[in-house]
Amino acid sequence: MIGRIGKGDILSGIPGSITGHDEVPFSLTEEFVSVYRMHSLIPDNIAFFDSETSDHKKTTPIEGVVFGKARDLLADGTLTWSNAFYSFGINYPGAITIRNHPKFLRDLSTPNGRHLDIATVDILRDRERGVPRYNEFRRLFHLKPAKTFSKLCGGNEALAADVASVYGNDIKKIDLLVGCLCEPLPKGFGFSDTAFRVFILMATRRLKSDRFIATEWKPKMYTKSGLKWIQDSTMKDVLGRHFPELKVVLKDVKNAFALWPKVGKAGMYNGPETNA
């Protein structure tokens, strides 16, 4: 309403500002890759429901819907796209925490014949690329390092003892990923404060580097009706346009990226997929 205030982005935001790279070509940094290892989000199973009747269709191990099998559930006519989106909306992801890596990724056979333990690969890649260990990483981000294993694990003494035994009781050796997954979470957070610092930095950098969000964010580029469409549309609107049958489910949903309400018979399903 009142235009941009000052030269910075703190008061007025990034859209409509000027593109800037801070004299460094845009890139996805090693820090960003390292804290974005979120394989814990992947559940062991997915429960599928009918989006209109809420009937439970089937519960499928995650390995049954990956790689070449990704299309099978839809190809055989058992499920529709709206069934799939509704099911994803009411299934919980895995928590981003220690001891919660999906089993199938620790014994993964890829289509090209490789056999991998992704949990091990994640740690080895950081070490090979010279990413600092957890405490040194925090120091370089001007954050306090963990002084004890107990402090790192939020007072969980059993976990602290296990982590200490793995690292020979040397807190300087804790890998970045392990440290992030052990951290007690700030209230309302789904992942560690350490990871959040990198995310907010990288998200800002991505937006500032995109001329269609920074420099060209104006009616001349998008038209007035185009800008209104962008500003007034949410993911909820996008889903409703493509799958009208989901409008009833999404009616009272404020944020389509949060869990959706379970309608009718879906609320009677007792599996951990929609309840844990």
Q: Which residues are catalytic?
A: 36
DSSP letter string, 129-163: TTPPPHHHHHHHTT-PPPSSHHHHTTT-HHHHHHH
For 274, counting Cβ atoms within 10 Å of its Cβ (0-12 exposed, 13-18 middle, 19+ buried), the class is buried
Is the Cβ–Cβ distance between 273 and 43 less than 8 Å?
A: yes
Cα gap 208→16, rounded to integer Å: 10
Q: Which token pair is 222?
A: 């998008």
Given CA atoms 173, 163, 45, 251 in this order, what sign does their dihedral have? Answer: negative
Cα gap 57→48, rounded to integer Å: 5
Neighbours of 32 (CB within 10 A): 17
**Strand blocks (E) in the chain:** 45-49, 56-61, 108-109, 115-116
End-to-end CA distance of the chain: 44
Give backbone dihedrals phi and psi of 96, rounded to 5 degrees, phi first.
-85, 80
